[in-house]
Amino acid sequence: MKQIIEDIKQFSGNMSLLYVEDNAGLRENVEKLLSRVFNNVITAEDGEDGYNAFVKFKPNILITDLNMPKMNGSDMIKKIKAKEPECKIIILSAYDEKEHLHNAINLGVFRYLSKPAKVPELVQAIYDSVIDIHKEENRRLFLSQIQTIFNYQNNIVVMMYEGKFILSNKRLLEFFNVDDLESFVKENSDIDGLLLEHKDFLYTTTESKWYETAAANSGKLFHTKIKNYKGEMRHLILKSRDVPEKNGHCILSFDDVTELNLMTLFDSDTTNSDATRQDKEAIITFMKIIKDNSAEVKIHNFYKGLTIVNSAVISEITNDEVTLKTSYPQLKIIKLSEVMTVSSEIFPKSVFCKSIKSIDLDNQTIVINQMSFAPRSAVDRKFIRLEPEEKHGCTLFYKEIKFAGDVKIIDISEVSVKLEIYALPPGMRENDIVKISINLTLHSRLISIVTDATIYRIDENLHSYYVIMLFTLDINNTHVIKEYLASRQMALIREFKKMDSVMAPVSEVKKVGTTCNMYHI
């Protein structure tokens, strides 16, 4: 009994109950009992008063006597049922003749109890009413939400509540070859193991359960791997949707994309191969999945090493090109740099667009047609790497001899520096150890950092060389360079916002730096 009462209070939520009884003493006693079981109880003293109270408060459950003055219980029930057919009605009556029972059935009464009703019997009737209302509400929510999911008839669609499948479409039953949802739940009691482990896919780990992650990321797309009733491993795209004003409820949609042969792209060796990076067809396929699910992508670009990130939607796709709609500031940066990176949770790697077909500032759209998977991306970068102010200094010592040529810092981080020099010191090569002295300005004062560095890479340009060096600073110099980068980052944000007087605010400026000529540090 105690558990049933707790369940009633848990599931009744904002429900209300109307109790109609003309006997004042009985009404008062039963009201006290009902108030212990139900959160919101309303009382009325006769049929007419009961109907008026129903119109005013619109209760979910009605408990009533039959023989009452002004308007008897049967007439009141008829009027209420005509107004609200879904109301759960429990009759408490001293009349238990067949005539009254048949009449109650014809009126659509939920339960008929004889007076004086036993407390466990009444509580059970209220519990059954609440559970029935809860189930009906779940069905209504499911049917209304299911219509908003794209192409749901071809997808597996389920409603979950508190980590349990409570409703599903036929596609789920066909996928697992079961007759009904109850059979599926019985055969798959370990729902944690429903999604199988695969690199960069969603599945249950020691840190989190897959369905909790999905529910907490409404609208986000996830790759999943599930075995069907034939034992075949299927690749499905999962999307979760919140159910408005219903905590604990969510709709999950699984779109089977196995036939697109995308699963192997998540193997690191495959993804890093030149053939895969240039696989434009695969990228277009991913873009179509995103568009079909009304999801967004992120566009990453760079202003003097500062990563500028904005959301974008895919407005049009052909077999050869993709049209994106994004913010005006991002379009301005793309126009300057002529390249960009696109990321999404369903890409195996970020997509690098090495050239832009067209930019329409008036309609805020951009068309791309040269795309490849990037082996490395600024999205994954650990350290801020920024272009310093114009008035900086850098001196290079190779084999303890000061280099006489001009040295310019292209960008700097707390672990690396990229230099531009116009002639290499004789014999300089990768992995050589050099000494560098760097002079920067922090809060209007000069700071100097002197350290040994290892040459990581040398890139030859038309008239100069880029030399990328790695170093490990001591504690004091690490603190100084971090303070400098934080200050420089804020200065670049202010500078970026002033680039154009009509430029809209930057939607997102990440604390991750890079340059368009990428190297991974």
The DSSP string of 137-196 is HHHHHHHHHHTTSTTGGGSEEEEEETTEEEEE-HHHHHHHT-SSHHHHHHHT--GGGSSP
CA gyration radius, the chain = 34
pLDDT digits (tens, 9 = 90+) for 291-347: 988 899 999 988 888 888 899 999 999 988 999 999 888 888 888 888 899 999 899
pLDDT digits (tens, 9 = 90+) for 365-377: 999 998 888 876 5
Domain of 47, in residue numbers: 2-139
In this model, does residue 504 exceed pLDDT 70?
no
Would residue 270 count as lying in a domain? no
Report the pLDDT value the prediction gives residue 405, as an integer from 0 to 100: 86
Q: Which of 113, 139, 165 is where one domain is finished? A: 139
In this model, does residue 102 exceed pLDDT 60?
yes
Residues 121 and 25 in one domain: yes
Where do we find the tokens 């001009």? Answer: 406
Report the pLDDT value the prediction gives residue 517, as an integer from 0 to 100: 39
Mean pLDDT, range 439-451, rounded to an integer: 93
Report the pLDDT value the prediction gives residue 409, as an integer from 0 to 100: 95
Q: Which of 139, 160, 195 is where one domain is finished? A: 139
Read off the pLDDT band of 221 (50, 70, 90).
very high
- Dihedral sign for Cα 83, 85, 90, 94, please: positive
Q: In whole numbers, what is the pLDDT of the chain averaged over residues?
A: 86
Model-wide pTM > 0.75: no
Q: Which residues does 380 contact at the CB level (< 8 Å), separation at least 6? A: 520
Report the pLDDT value the prediction gives residue 499, as an integer from 0 to 100: 67
Residues 48 and 172 in one domain: no
Would residue 245 count as lying in a domain? yes
Q: Which of 111, 139, 167 is where one domain is finished? A: 139
Mean pLDDT, range 164-186, rounded to an integer: 90
In this model, does residue 184 exceed pLDDT 70?
yes
Residues 130 and 187 in one domain: no
